[in-house]
Amino acid sequence: MDPDSEVDFDLSPYLIRYKSGRVRRLVGTSRVSAGTDAATGVTSKDVVIDAGTGTGAGLAARLFIPANALGEPATRLPLLVYFHGGVFAVHSAFSPAHTRLLNALVSAAGAVAVSVEYRLAPEHPVPAAYDDAWAALTWAVASCAGQGPEPWLAAHGDASRLFVAGDSAGGNIAHNVTLRAGMSGGALPGGARIEGMVLMHPYFRGEARLPSEGTDPRALQTSRRIWSLVCAGRYGLDHPCINPLAMPAKDWAALGCRRAMVTVAELDSMRDRGRRYVEALRGSAWDGEEAVLYETDGAGHVYFLEKHGGGGGGKVEKEMAAIAAFMASSSQASTGCHAKL
């Protein structure tokens, strides 16, 4: 039988890997060009961060900037480094859904954003995504100081107001990058520190089931299969990179951000992991100032990526506004108390 057509691993509805190593992705393959968004006025462009990383164009990103910023050379904006979701294996920073989301978020927050096109599993198993995310983060911070060729970031990026964010697997990546930033040897250029971390419906799992995950043993088996594929069997389901709840309270001290926000949705099976994450953070040795939980009723996992926002009702706009408010409150929080709210 032809190894290019013989199935090795069927991970429908996401992808199928064949004996030859060929991967056929079943979702998240569409792309949209950068440009100016008619609805928000946000302008985007694509850049190459490292031509020697990955395949094709190398490590790349899509940059987003609000409509009024390009004509104001003295305007400095918060820097948001964003990681898309897709179980580490599908979707793209260049997808219609994530381009639409970043347009909305940049418009609401008034930030300049770097949406990272990291390498995908299973061709590039975890920790490749973490390494690419770190490389993109350090590149973005350095570019804000004029240490790179990127004019938007040099002219408008403010690395003293640095945020990382991501949805689903991208939220997992944001968490792990923030841990790396806080660990010894993980210093960012110029001594920059992550002001805020936003995990939107983060993709976390674990061997012990939480109430929102149900009790069906097949669901646990599916979680194990997915994670084993995307990390090439390197880590178990209770490894801290996929299950932060397995970390001792003292280890949370390494989380290198001053403030944190986690968003969850009522109908998402991973809802309780997001809730427990905030609880663990608040009760840990982390020395941050604020851990915020934002919940959306009547919505499912990453509903905000749907073209009509999971049925309307202004849910997407409200979540974008909540994230924008979290980002905008950084200056007030820096002069406030050190309570974990």
User: Which candidate in 107, 143, 168, 284 is catalytic?
Assistant: 168
167 catalytically annotated = no
CA distance 100 to 32: 10
Decide if 80 contacts 163 (C-beta within 8 A).
yes
User: Which candidate in 124, 175, 201, 301 is catalytic?
Assistant: 301
Q: How many CA atoms lie within 13 A of 141 on its CB side?
A: 22
CA distance 231 to 88: 9
168 catalytically annotated = yes
Q: What would the two tokens of residue 159 be? A: 């690395």
CA distance 252 to 75: 35
330 catalytically annotated = no
Which amino acid is residue 147, in one-letter code? Q
Q: Please choose, from the candidates 195, 197, 172, the residue with its C-alpha nearest in 3D space to the C-alpha of residue 273.
A: 172
CA distance 143 to 146: 5
User: Which candidate in 115, 167, 268, 330 is catalytic?
Assistant: 268
Number of neighbouring beta carbons within 10 Å of residue 190: 13
Active site amino acids: 168, 268, 301
